[in-house]
Amino acid sequence: METTKKVIQEVESCSAHNYHPLPVVIEKGEGAWVHDVEGKKYLDMLSAYSALNQGHRHPRIIDALVEQAGKVTLTSRAFHNDKMGPFLSKLCEISGFEKALPMNTGAEAVETALKAARKWGYQKKGVEENQAEIIVCANNFHGRTISIVSFSTEEQYRMGFGPFTPGFKVIPYGDAEALEKAITRNTIAFMMEPIQGEGGVIVPEKGCLAKIREITRENNVLLIFDEIQTGFARTGKMFAFQHEAAQPDILVVGKALGGGVYPVSAMLSNTEVMEVFKPGDHGSTFGGNPLGAAVGLASIQVLLDEKLEERSETLGEYFSKRLQELNSPYVKEIRGKGLLIGVEIKAECGKARPFCERLMALGVLCKETHDQTIRFAPPLIISKDEIDWALEKISTVLQDASQNISWEE
Ligand SMILES: *Cc1c(COP(=O)(O)O)cnc(C)c1O
């Protein structure tokens, strides 16, 4: 544990303490597995918050990265590059949208969507200047910029960061009736995650997305789905909205679009929305760069060719069922879709973190979200055998939390 301690000490001494990572130092990753600096092997069941749906260092994605790195990596949007077109047209094809605007991180793509929606509201819906309202959900997570945390309901995300961006209204998550009531003539958009990831893997009632689609359409309000975490086969469909055929007006994607090797995000919409952007309205130096575009295209191709939607659906069902069958005395509820699964620990049994620490000691990496929930979101290329291996460890930890499992310090 010497090396681990030294690395962590160095990081602690020179970095901002804006995270509370588990005490494991990863040195190498391949497929669903990672190795730490001590040579210990772990099954990655977090996948960098679903940015690694294709697994660590997928050979086809790495090939695309290396090949493009040997040609040209960055042009800026001052010039064209030959990779952005093929990438965006593929992205539009698999999602059913006409236009795509590439960015880098998820938060930037969300900001892009908010800007597009506002401008659409003024130019196309005819809302009076600076009066546009966007409705969002309680317990949301859409990123960390000032505007985005302006409508967070998580006290810690906001505390000390005001003043905030106005123009947002919060309703309870998955509440179609509340949405209908909250809409005014100044409402230009409603934004939600089809499943709340950071919020604790919260799945709305069946039919909710379709109902929300109907309400927003009837009221000429843009529907924005943030599928940064739920997209790209994570929930058993290419996009979570496809479970209910609730095609939104704007879709925000990121994370797995870069295959876990490069930050690639995008906002997607039809032409009527996207055409509000004129040259100079919005941009990003790295957005749409040829390296990211090559990686993005390969990342999509891998999802399609390896049928990761089907894998996610089948293995997700299997994994959830086996977790239920553990009948753990510590578990309040198991939720999720596909390979996005939340295991909520009963409040009287303490927080989820100690369970994650014990799992880590047994070689399973996962992370708590919102204190009480363990999120299991392994790479979608994981095999059934690997899930069975993990289930053994999970069973040990969830059957008897009093067991003294620890890793040598
Ligand atoms: C991770 C995430 C974001 C933010 O993405 P970043 O790349 O970290 O900026 C936004 N929305 C959802 C739903 C996410 O899971």
Question: Distance between CA atoms of 354 and 402, rounded to whole angstroms?
Answer: 11
Chunked in runs of 10, what are the mean pLDDT values of the chain (409 residues)? 93 95 96 97 98 98 98 98 98 98 98 98 98 98 98 96 98 98 98 97 98 98 98 98 97 98 98 98 97 98 98 98 97 98 96 96 95 97 98 94 53
Domain boundaries, the chain: 4-54+308-399, 59-305
To the query of whether residue 255 is one of the catalytic residues in this protein, the response is yes
| CB of 342 closer than 8 Å to CB of 334 | yes
Distance 85 CA to ligand 1 centre (A): 24
d(CA 150, CA 167): 9
Dmax (CA) for the chain in angstroms is 64
For ligand 1, whether the C-beta of 105 sits within 6 Å is yes
Residue 1: what pLDDT? 81
CA distance 186 to 131: 6
> Are the C-beta atoms of residues 102 and 295 closer than 8 Å to each other?
no
Measured torsion, CA atoms of residues 144, 146, 147, 149, in degrees rounded to the nearest 10? 50
Q: 252 alpha carbon to ligand 1 midpoint, in Å?
A: 10
- Pairing type for strands 187-192 and 222-226 reads parallel
Pair 383, 40: CB distance under 8 Å: no
For residue 200, give every residue at least 6 positions away whose Cβ sits within 8 Å of its Cβ, in sequence order, or none: 139, 342, 344, 369, 370, 372, 373
Q: Is the CB of 226 under 6 A from ligand 1?
A: yes
CA of 406 to the centre of ligand 1 (A): 32
Q: Is 47 in the pocket of ligand 1 (CB under 6 A)?
A: no
Measured distance CA(71)–CA(190) in Å, rounded: 41
Q: Name the CATH superfamily housing domain 4-54+308-399.
A: Aspartate Aminotransferase, domain 1 (3.90.1150.10)
The encoded tokens of residue 114 equal 């908010």
d(C-alpha 140, C-alpha 133), whole Å: 17
Based on the number of CB atoms within 10 Å of its own CB, is 138 exposed (0-12), middle (13-18) or buried (19 or more)? middle
Give nearest CA residue, ligand 1 atom 8.
106
Count Cα neighbours of 241 within 13 Å in the Cβ-side half-sphere: 24
Instruction: Tell me, using a 6 A CB cutoff, whether residue 229 lines ligand 1.
Output: yes
Alpha carbon distance 342, 260 (integer Å): 21
Candidate list 87, 97, 141, 286, residue with the active-site label? 141
CB of 199 sitting under 6 A from ligand 1: no
The SS3 of residue 24 is coil
CA 159 and chain centroid, separation: 23
Q: For residue 241, indicate whether it is catalytic.
A: no
SS3 135: strand
C-alpha 102 to ligand 1 mean position (Å): 15
- Name the CATH architecture for the domain at 59-305: 3-Layer(aba) Sandwich (3.40)
The 3-class secondary structure across 183-237, one letter per residue, is CCCCEEEEEECCCECCCCCECCCCCHHHHHHHHHHHCCCEEEEECCCCCCCCCCC
Most ligand 1 atoms within 8 A of CB, residue of 195, 252, 255 to mutate: 255
For residue 393, how far is the Cα from the chain centroid? 26
Q: Residue 239 is encoded by which pair of tokens?
A: 């996009």
Pairing of strands 265-269, 331-337: unpaired
In angstroms, the CA 103 to CA 266 distance is 5
For residues 200 and 337, give the distance between their C-alpha atoms in angstroms, rounded to a whole number: 13
Beta-carbon neighbour count of residue 305 at 10 Å? 9
Q: Identify the active-site residue in 44, 151, 211, 226.
A: 226
228 CA distance to ligand 1 middle (Å): 6
Q: Tell whether ligand 1 has an atom less than 6 A from the beta carbon of residue 227.
A: no
User: For ligand 1, what atom is nearest to the CA of residue 148?
Assistant: 10
Query: What are the C-alpha distances in Å from 70 to residues 56, 67, 156, 393?
Result: 21, 5, 44, 43
Out of 47, 137, 142, give the residue to mutate to test ligand 1, the one with the largest number of ligand atoms within 8 Å of its CB: 142
